[in-house]
Structure 1
Amino acid sequence: MKTYPTYKDSGIAWIGRIPEKWKILRGKYLFRNGKETNVGMRVKHILSLTLNGVTNRDTEDHSRLSPSDYATYQIFEKGDLVFKLIDLENFQTSRVGIVDEQGIMSPVYIRLRAIENIVNRFFYYQYYDLYNKRIYNALGYGVRASLSAPELLHIQLVVPEVDEQEAIVYFLDTKLKEIDEAFEKNDRIFGSSDRKNGLLLEYKKTLISEAVTGKIDVRK
């Protein structure tokens, strides 16, 4: 794949060099954190942050909760980013997702909503890259290792122009879908294996990282 013509040092160890015209900004200049509680049970659709992203929550998962419990949940809107940044010593749990529809989720989650003209899904991929690199785990603290919303918003992010953000999202959405479909077809024919699945996951992680940090130029 092609690269950008010129690069500069980002000054951030886990990002490295970035395209010359890209910026580095802290998340607080792009997003705000706010908690909108589900008072009066205005929203009844329950979502869950899983390793497969934000999904509809099965009724069996929350049958033990009473309606009053859902009144303490927070409301998320389409495009919001959601984070679970508690118990960071556990490396096998979901940490970041993007919301595709209105719903409610746990009050312990962090919600970020854009305050600038940006492509939310690009920053979802970038925050997901930080999850893959275990940056949240490295920055966590306390007995149950956690990060607060202000600390999350203090993390520096790579910011290309909006048209480049859109191009990167299109590339990743398309490419990752193609990869998954190809491997599913391969599994049906030859069967699955832990080694093959591990290689697939690492390839997808690398592709996301290289795209969101500008190591490859995916523009047409």
Structure 2
Amino acid sequence: MTKYPTYKDSGIEWLGQIPTHWEMLKAKYMFQKNKREVQDGDKVITCFRDGQVTLRENRRTTGFTESITEIGYQGIRKGDLVIHQMDAFAGAIGVSDADGKGTSVYHCCTPKGEYLTYYYAHVIREMALKGYIQSLYRGIRERSSDFNYVTFGNCLLPVPSPSEQRQIVAYLDYKSNKINERICQRERELQTISELKQAEIATVVTRGLVPNVPMKESGIEWLGKIPAHWNVKRIASVSHEINDSNVTMEYTQPSQFKFGEIVLKSIIGEGEYDENIKKCTLFKKNDILINGLNLNYDFVTQRVAKSNYDGIITPAYIVIRVKDGLSADYAMFLFKSIDNKKIFNGWGTGIRLTLSYKELKKQCIPIPPKEEQDAIVAYLQSRITFIDNYIAKLKEEINYLQEYKQRLISDVVTGKVDVRGVEIPNEE
């Protein structure tokens, strides 16, 4: 791609130089804000932070604050430029792909002239991503802005010719679709690899490493058959719960779960927090920690970890110390597999479905001979390292593609590159 022949200073810091033949105009002269009546049958539309404006049912229906009476709702029509007054700073700006209704927090705009809403959705999102909208902060809500219509109307926007706007949008649609296809391929591969990883862990910790070994019924519904020379034991017989409180302030470095590992939190100061620290549970290196709270909450994706150091953690977590004959690493892999299969859910109690050691210790698990446990651990550690390295490369590629797409959009809509002569294939 090439640059335009000549440029001029836009006078706007976030925009920089623009092609010489482009103009600058305040948004209030380009767009009008509409306040339509809601029509019968209108469904709720949401403006998401990734720039998609669509019927809520097309994305997700949970995690929103619902309005019982829908006071102040307005009609939104397909093709409207929609700006989320409070979340515009985070990119909640786009063009609606459907008719529907939304709250009064949205600015629903239509052009007063030949101003393409799809082009200006890109431009205003660029303003947001470069921090310009945040710099116009008018609200008190943390990390948000009251991007009211008066403020928006006074913003200067670049004005390419109508034909140029259409070419820019067509080019970005074509390139973005190609990049998105690649991202989707990599995300599907990432999902498949992750599922295969969990399946392999589950197979190895319950079947062992030797193929065609004689099997026997374990007597446990979720477990099925196990190698004939393995034992089945209650968790209470191979472990015990640790519930020692930190009354002596032996450890003042709290810990937390993060992506299936135990990590240190920032140091908590003295004074008002001391009593809370005293209530924390002490744990030692190689202890197994399980988050047994709210088992039916899907957003908690990893509930099991083995600690690599001594520390303290809130008493809401179950802390288990294995006895001789059971490898802590094998127990960790086994419990992670149980967690992944949602087996904990069947062991939880109460309205919030909470797991306690009282219930956990009643359950039975497979126990291979100690040397076989060690072999399983060694195999899984090597195998998981290999798989995780591949997963990391996939994630790196996905991040690169996402960054490349955003940089491409930024360069094109602000005129840093010239796409006027680029031929766009017709893929219909």
Q: Same fold (TM over 0.5)?
A: yes
* Root mean square deviation, CA, Å: 2.3
**Paired position in structure 2 for 1:88:** 295
Structure 1: which 5+ residue stretches go unaligned? 194-220
**Paired position in structure 2 for 1:109:** 317
* 2:361 counterpart SS class: helix
Q: How does 1:1-220 map to 2 (within 5 A)?
A: 3-59=211-267, 66-93=273-300, 94-189=302-397
Q: Tell me, in whole angstroms, the C-alpha distance in 2 between the residues paired with 1:160 and 1:188.
A: 38
Deviations 1:6-46 (A, max 9, x none): 11111222211111100110100100113111113111122
Q: Tell me, in whole angstroms, the C-alpha distance in 2 between the residues paired with 1:45 and 1:5.
A: 46
Q: Tell me, in whole angstroms, the C-alpha distance in 1 between the residues paired with 2:400 and 2:342.
A: 27
% same residue: 24
- TM-score, normalised by the number of residues in structure 1: 0.79
Question: Structure 1 residue 126: deviation in Å?
Answer: 0.6
Deviations 1:30-66 (A, max 9, x none): 0011311111311112211233321122358x99961
Aligned length: 192
Q: Tell me, in whole angstroms, the C-alpha distance in 2 between the residues paired with 1:143 and 1:192.
A: 43
Q: Is the contact made by 2:348 and 2:359 (CA closer than 8 Å) also made in structure 1?
A: no
Question: Structure 1 residue 147: deviation in Å?
Answer: 1.9
- TM-score, normalised by the number of residues in structure 2: 0.42
Q: Tell me, in whole angstroms, the C-alpha distance in 2 between the residues paired with 1:178 and 1:22.
A: 28
Structure 2: which 5+ residue stretches go unaligned? 1-208, 402-428
Question: Structure 1 residue 91: deviation in Å?
Answer: 2.3
* 1:158 counterpart SS class: strand
Letter in 2 for 1:95: R
Distance 1:65 1:80, change over 3 A: farther
- Higher radius of gyration, 1 or 2: 2
* 1:37 counterpart SS class: coil
Q: Is the contact made by 2:239 and 2:320 (CA closer than 8 Å) also made in structure 1?
A: yes
Question: Structure 1 residue 113: deviation in Å?
Answer: 0.9
Distance 1:67 1:18, change over 3 A: same
**RCO higher in 1 or 2 (8 Å CA, sep ≥ 6)?**
1
Q: Is the contact made by 2:280 and 2:315 (CA closer than 8 Å) also made in structure 1?
A: yes
Question: Structure 1 residue 191: deviation in Å?
Answer: 5.6
Question: Structure 1 residue 5: deviation in Å?
Answer: 2.2
Deviations 1:152-177 (A, max 9, x none): 11111010000000000111111001
Q: Tell me, in whole angstroms, the C-alpha distance in 2 between the residues paired with 1:117 and 1:152.
A: 19
